[in-house]
Amino acid sequence: MEVQAASKKSRKKTVEKRRPLIIAGPCSAESEDQLLQIAGKLAAGKRTDFFRAGIWKPRTRPGNFEGVGNTGLRWLQRVKEETGMRTATEVATTTHVYEALKYGIDCLWIGARTTANPFATQEIANALRGADVMVCLKNPVNPDPALWLGAIERISDAGIQKIIAIHRGFSSYGKTRYRNMPQWAIPLWLKKQVPGLPIICDPSHIAGKRELVPHIARRSVFLGFDGLMIEVHHEPSKALSDAGQQLTPEAFERLMAGKFRNSSYL
Ligand code: PEP
Ligand code: MN
């Protein structure tokens, strides 16, 4: 994909109906057994294109679970061997990039805290030069559309062809309905700037509560997003990170099948 100004022809292309891209899996890799259990269920449902799991976790404050690190890369390799699903993980440093590429991770995503830092995104872009890998960029934590676009341009300028933007909402201070405010106008602005760029929605990080995930997911589909990234855990309430917002594989399946009439199904 080339990041370029809107043209009539490319705008028409984005209107064509494509199957939504689905990235699903736990917030964090916790053990090999946990990954294989969740992956087995997602693979059986045949709705997941990429299996996600965070190995290096950017926690706001120290002392929380910060991910299993490099060991998790072998577990993701095993998920791929046993289920055939492609894999995705977050990278925040050049070392993460080199390690993830070494282990054949198919999709690297840049998290919201990293997209907010042009030095960090440029270093990651330099490390990615020449790699044949899909790269997803979450929006920055702060509602600054140009910062998001700038990060996408840095990755594109490094020669990466397969780029996807992920809308995960924006931080705000004080008590709010959602963990991160959707501010739908921002991803829609981005879509206008780069019409060929697929944008998917991460309703898990916007909602912050599993009860609100289906509502946000449906809204993004209605607004024409190109897919979803959803956190799925076999025992969500026991998850070591983001326990309140992850869906069980069964709830995920019902959401994908369009069977949520209301959130009491969760
Ligand atoms: C995640 O996907 O688990 C994550 C940490 O996301 P974000 O960068 O959107 O906070
Ligand atoms: Mn998470």
Task: Please state the atom number of ligand 1 nearest to the C-alpha of residue 229.
Answer: 2
pLDDT bucket at 60, cuts 50 / 70 / 90: confident
Comparing 72 with 265, the larger pLDDT belongs to 72
Ligand nearest to the CA of 179: 1
Domain count within the chain: 1
> Would the CA dihedral through 63, 64, 69, 75 be positive or negative?
positive
Nearest CA to ligand 1 atom 2: 27
Nearest CA to ligand 1 atom 4: 111
Highest mean pLDDT among 5-9, 62-66, 199-203 belongs to 199-203
Tell me, yes or no, whether 1 lies in a domain.
no
Tell me, yes or no, whether 22 lies in a domain.
yes
Mean pLDDT of 144-165: 98
User: 231 CA to middle of ligand 1, Å?
Assistant: 10
CA 261 to chain CA centroid, Å, is: 25
Nearest CA to ligand 1 atom 1: 27
Give pLDDT, residue 14: 46
CA angle 95, 96, 98 (to 5 degrees): 65
Tell me, yes or no, whether 2 lies in a domain.
no
Tell me, yes or no, whether 155 lies in a domain.
yes
Task: Please state the atom number of ligand 1 nearest to the C-alpha of residue 112.
Answer: 8
Nearest CA to ligand 1 atom 9: 112
Q: Is the pLDDT of residue 12 over 90?
A: no
Among 9-23, 62-76, 116-130, 177-191, which stretch is predicted with the lowest mean pLDDT? Answer: 9-23
Ligand nearest to the CA of 168: 1
Give pLDDT, residue 266: 53
Residue ranges making up the domain that contains 28: 8-265
Q: Is the pLDDT of residue 199 over 90?
A: yes
- Average pLDDT over the chain, rounded to whole? 93
Q: Is the pLDDT of residue 13 over 50?
A: no
Give pLDDT, residue 19: 81
Q: Is the pLDDT of residue 125 over 90?
A: yes
CATH number, position 53: 3.20.20.70
pLDDT digits (tens, 9 = 90+) for 63-104: 999 999 999 999 999 999 999 999 999 999 999 999 999 999
pLDDT bucket at 7, cuts 50 / 70 / 90: very low
Rg (CA), the chain: 17
Tell me, yes or no, whether 86 lies in a domain.
yes
Give pLDDT, residue 265: 54
Task: Please state the atom number of ligand 1 nearest to the C-alpha of residue 166.
Answer: 9
Q: H/E element holding 251? A: helix 249-256
Residues with CB under 6 A from ligand 1: 27, 54, 58, 111-112, 138, 168, 205
pLDDT bucket at 128, cuts 50 / 70 / 90: very high
User: 7 CA to middle of ligand 1, Å?
Assistant: 32
Task: Please state the atom number of ligand 1 nearest to the C-alpha of residue 202.
Answer: 9
Tell me, yes or no, whether 93 lies in a domain.
yes
Tell me, yes or no, whether 177 lies in a domain.
yes
Tell me, yes or no, whether 3 lies in a domain.
no
CA 237 to chain CA centroid, Å, is: 21
With a pLDDT cut of 90, the percent of the chain lying above it is 88
pLDDT digits (tens, 9 = 90+) for 218-259: 999 999 999 999 999 999 999 999 999 999 999 999 999 987
Nearest CA to ligand 1 atom 8: 111
Contacts of 170 (CB under 8 A, 6+ apart): 139, 141, 142, 143, 180, 181, 183, 186
Contact in structure between 179 and 191 (CB atoms under 8 Å): no
User: 56 CA to middle of ligand 2, Å?
Assistant: 11
User: 110 CA to middle of ligand 2, Å?
Assistant: 13
Q: SS3 for 17? A: coil
Nearest CA to ligand 1 atom 6: 111
